Structure 1
């Protein structure tokens, strides 16, 4: 088994690339999906967030009011750090459980850790490869404005809240340039999957 990380910048097309890799046969561990799972109503994660930020961050059905919570942490690094300290360990624990299950069922698997803030959180240091889905910042900006229907100032604020895409590109061990057509991105993703698959077989052998 080989475990690689997949990351990118906002509106870079990481989810599309993750689907290409999944279609090729990779096992995807989606950190965002896990982060939602570990704070579902009634979970220790949900209760910890309510205790830390107040019951006002809960909707009537018990779910986290993500918009409200986002407004609280977006411009407050201390509160963002406090939220990360609750959610991050739960995501790491659940990810480890999923990896153990994959290892038992498919020892030759290519596992992709799909983590938007892989580099910002330092979670990439123990992975065999770090794949960055890259587009220039100007493309990020245009796509984000179109996707979310927001103005340039709001889009840039979201882009600036992450590590610059050029820095991520430098730190990557593998890069998929998603600036061109979808078929080109698919070709690059399949080439990387084939490379990882061979690495996994070499490790197992």
Structure 2
């Protein structure tokens, strides 16, 4: 079974491609969603994070993680960011592996992993191909503003803090330009799936 990583910067429209792929009947896991799920109440990650970043990062009554507080502390230093990654990454990968195993048992030949952060992580080497979804900078800014209700300045700041587009392009095997109509995106998705299907069934 071929594992295909789907990635792209904020506002690129990656979720549009993912929904088209799922709509075409292919198994796909959302790594960003899993990253949120491994921090839900009862997760084995939470006590480990509390040991490092303070017990008050979890609400005492509800067991809910105070995500903003954790982010403020973890991302304050490179060491904190590394510690957060060391705790959460194995849990995320275990969940993805479970989904891969299920799809493989079901006889799937292609499995997609949708993740904003794949390139530059250990999971990159697990992928047979990386597909980058790309959109013009200002188009991405407008999408982020509409989606998150923030100013264009804040959206640009968020984009500028992410991995540069050029770095992602160098690592990607395929690039889907999301710069036109929905119909054009559908056609590009069909062409991508056709190429991947041929390779998977050869």
2:25 alignment counterpart = 25
In 2, Cα distance between equivalents of 1:146 and 1:191 = 29
- Contact (CA 8 Å) 1:29, 1:114: kept in 2 or not? yes
In 1, Cα distance between equivalents of 2:156 and 2:123 = 25
In 2, Cα distance between equivalents of 1:162 and 1:122 = 18
TM-score (norm 2): 0.90
**Is 2:185 aligned against 1:185?**
yes
- Contact (CA 8 Å) 1:27, 1:109: kept in 2 or not? no
In 1, Cα distance between equivalents of 2:110 and 2:19 = 14
In 2, Cα distance between equivalents of 1:15 and 1:76 = 30
Map of 1:1-205 to 2, 5 A cutoff? 1-59=1-59, 60-106=61-107, 108-202=108-202
The answer for unaligned runs of 5 or more in structure 1 is none
- Contact (CA 8 Å) 2:53, 2:74: kept in 1 or not? no
With over 3 angstroms needed to count, the CA separation of the structure-2 counterparts of 1:153 and 1:13, relative to structure 1, is same
TM-score (norm 1): 0.89
Deviation at 1:112, TM superposition (A): 0.4
In 2, Cα distance between equivalents of 1:11 and 1:98 = 26
- Contact (CA 8 Å) 1:3, 1:110: kept in 2 or not? yes
**Range that drifts further, 87-96 or 36-45:** 36-45
In 1, Cα distance between equivalents of 2:71 and 2:156 = 17
